[in-house]
Structure 1
């Protein structure tokens, strides 16, 4: 199960299909998530941009 403490790099490394979940966030945050946020946790990334972390986690876990 993907948790809020997991780093984005670890998530996409373990579950490559989750990269598609992060893709739409490129437009939301105004930059490439895979280029700029691989070393942040889901929680850090969500807080940085005031995103709905629970929704992101739900989508990541549904598609892993």
Structure 2
């Protein structure tokens, strides 16, 4: 079956607001802290990279002036 335009499966990134990004960041940090001593280095590196990306996105978003 083909994806219809506008479906989540149409290979577009999900847009998240700052609250959702903070929640994802907290979950990733908790998961990274809960990893045992035996996970592959690639998994740990990937999680750390995503945490850095989320922190950068949040810092970038908070530096923008808010307009209402």
Q: Which has the higher contact order (CA 8 A, sep 6+)?
A: 1
TM-score with structure 2 length normalisation? 0.24
